[in-house]
Structure 1
Amino acid sequence: MADAVGKLLGVRLTRQQASFDAILPALDSGKYDLGLSNITVTEERKEKYDFATYRLDNIAFEAKKGSGWKVRGPRDVAGRTIGVGSGTNQEKLLVDWSKANVAKGLKPTDIKIYQNTGDYYLALGSGRLDAYFGPNPVAAYHAASTGQTEIIGTFSGAGDAIQGKIAATTRKGNGLIRPVQEALNTVIENGAYGKVLARWGLADEAVPSSELNPPGLPRTAS
């Protein structure tokens, strides 16, 4: 998606891989101009950043194949050991679920925080985690490519509040987000967008158009 947007904008794209919790600070400092890494629109983030949506925000629980359990809601993670990425909305959502379970007399969730993909997949494979809770695209790709894991539950990244949305992200007011939004709408209209999502098995997360700073995950959910 970054390549498609860069080509339309006529700029030389330099891609840099980073852990999720490093991206927003790098936007703050000016190290990065644009963030494209499963960043969910939230009301709190909108105070500092501008957003152009390009995908629905679906998150998934991934467990070892044949684990024999499903996650349909907060009760299903009570007493479980679950891994999440550092600084993500999945972490916030899981903390909220655990607190709600404890208030109902259920066991808390043992939440393990990870920064690197390899680390949490090692923990999952060795049985130190019951499941990993992260972006659906990552989980779906890993499950399909390895055949060792499976998706045991999917949810909106915004919880029950609204359908979460993933967006290209810039520092607020720097003038870049509107051209990015226009480029995204162009690739949606010309069909290139659909081909990209289909390639990665994400056709069910498609949006009809890119929105500029839409309603995001509310503060009360975080």
Structure 2
Amino acid sequence: MFSRRTLLRGLTAATAAATLATGLTACGGESDAATTTADPAGTVTVGRLSNGAAKETTLKVSEVKSISAQLPEEIRKRGTLVIGSGTLPSGSPPLGFVGEDQKTLTGSEVDLARLVAAVLGLEPEVRRSTWENLFIGLDSGKVDVAFSNVTDTEERKQKYEFASYRKDDLALEVKKDDTWTFDGDYHSLAGKTVSVGNGTNQEKILLEWKAKLAKEGKPLTVKYFQETNSLYLALNSGKIDAYFGPSPNLAYHATKTAGTPQATRIAGQFSGAGETLQGLIAATAKKDSGLAKPLAAAINHLIDSGAYAKWLAAWNLSNEAVAKSEVNPPGLPLTNS
């Protein structure tokens, strides 16, 4: 994979994103990603090229020296923050997807990463990969931090450290004319065929429900699709009954398909941390990297300044706001039993 770190050294935070890759050509399951055009110094514009998914909003944000001083020395000297986005191959709107220019990676997660990088005085360098390769990038050190709808879980804490920034709510999406609803009781999934993303937090929850139903002699079929288009073709044709995934993605899709023959609706929601704990989405770095504390401090600065609320509002995610960013807060237990 070609590295752009040398190219980015010495650039201002406002112009760095414009000098990233000009395309999204995959290389071994990864790509460097153009993230936006240049912003004036001291500003970050969110919601660009979102094709109606967000309201373009320019926010004032500059380096906070007391926070950037907390960064590990290697990253501070390098001057870049290498950001992982696990959104290959087909994107995950509104969280991370190729914008209306057909080359620029946009989305709420990417925009927050750029805001955090600005507070830290670093140039944002986005690397796009599949979901599985996102964690390989963290493990290998090719990626500093993932901003990619990663749920804080106790299992993941064995390898990673977290700085929370958004509520994690999951949802079940069905065809609009399907009268089935989900009230949080896994028993209502008996006999259903449900799709879920491989290696995700929601897969862990769904497979635990499947195991519980199996002990009761009731079936639950789980299916996987590599492409979002294939998943929704299966849903619309009746090959699957529901899709279990992040609430923002599913709500976005339901809104975009309203009034079409492919219309869907949300049949119910569930916390990403299980029945007894509110799930949290978090910036994710390698354990003991020393990044979680400055990342949380940067996010809390954005919360205090009002930029955080404006970012959420631009992406229609205000109902997922948290009061503060926490370092390694309680996450999805090792078992939901």
TM-score range, shorter chain: over 0.9
1:110-149 matches, within 5 Å, as 110-147=221-258, 148-149=263-264
Kept in 2: contact 1:61–1:133 (CA 8 A): yes
Letter in 2 for 1:79: G
Displacement after TM superposition at 1:198 (Å): 1.9
1:118 is displaced (CA, Å) by 2.8
Per the alignment, residue 31 of structure 1 pairs with: 142
1:217 aligns with 332
Matching residue of 1:64: 175
Q: Work out the number of aligned pairs and report it.
A: 221
Checking the alignment, whether the CA contact within 8 Å between 1:161 and 1:221 is kept in structure 2 is no
Output the CA distance in 1 between the equivalents of 2:315 and 2:255.
Answer: 10
The one-letter amino acid paired with 2:142 is: K
Choose from 212, 215, 218 the match for 1:100. Answer: 212
2:137 matched to 1:22? no
C-alpha deviation, 1:176, in angstroms: 1.9
2:281 maps to 1:166 = yes
Q: Distance in 2 between matches of 1:48 and 1:166?
A: 16
Deviation, 1:87, is 0.2
Amino acid at match of 1:98: K
- Specify which of 292, 297, 319 is matched with residue 204 of structure 1: 319
Alignment-mate amino acid for residue 149 of structure 2: N
Aligned twin of 1:50: 161
Query: For 1:219, what is the secondary structure of its paired residue?
Result: coil
* Distance change >3 Å, CA 34–CA 115, structure 1 → 2: farther
- Which of the two has greater helix per residue? 1
SS at match of 1:91: helix
Matched, 1:154 2:255: no
Report 1 or 2 for greater relative contact order, CA contacts < 8 Å, sequence distance ≥ 6: 1
TM-score, normalization: structure 1? 0.94
- Structure 1 distance, partners of 2:334, 2:293, is 25
Deviation at 1:64, TM superposition (A): 1.4
Runs of 4+ in structure 1 displaced over 6 angstroms?
A: none
Partner Cα distance (1:125, 1:21) in 2: 27
CA RMSD of aligned residues (A): 1.5
Distance 1:10 1:123 in 2: 45
Instruction: Give the Cα–Cα distance (whole angstroms) in 2 for the partners of residues 109 and 85 of structure 1.
Output: 16
* Alignment partners' CA distance in 1, 2:220 and 2:197: 15
Query: What are structure 2's unaligned runs of at least 5 residues?
Result: 1-111
- Residue matched to 1:86: 198
Unaligned segments of structure 1, at least 5 residues:
none
Could you tell me the TM-score, scaled by structure 2's length? 0.63
Instruction: Name the larger-Rg structure.
Output: 2
Identity value in percent: 49
Give me the whole-angstrom Cα distance separating, in 2, the residues matched to 1:98 and 1:175: 38
2:184 aligned with 1:76, yes or no?
Answer: no
Displacement of 1:77 after TM fit?
1.1
8 Å contact from structure 1 (residues 41, 164) kept in 2: yes
Equivalent position SS for 2:149: coil
Mapped partners of 1:4, 1:50: distance in 2: 20
The residue number in structure 1 matching 2:45 is none
After superposition, give the CA deviation of every residue in 1:170-205 in whole Å (9 maximum; x if it has no partner): 011112222211110011111111122222222221
Letter in 2 for 1:210: S
Equivalent residue for 2:308? 193
Return the alpha-carbon distance in structure 2 between the equivalents of residues 90 and 126 of structure 1: 23
SS in 1 for 2:335: helix
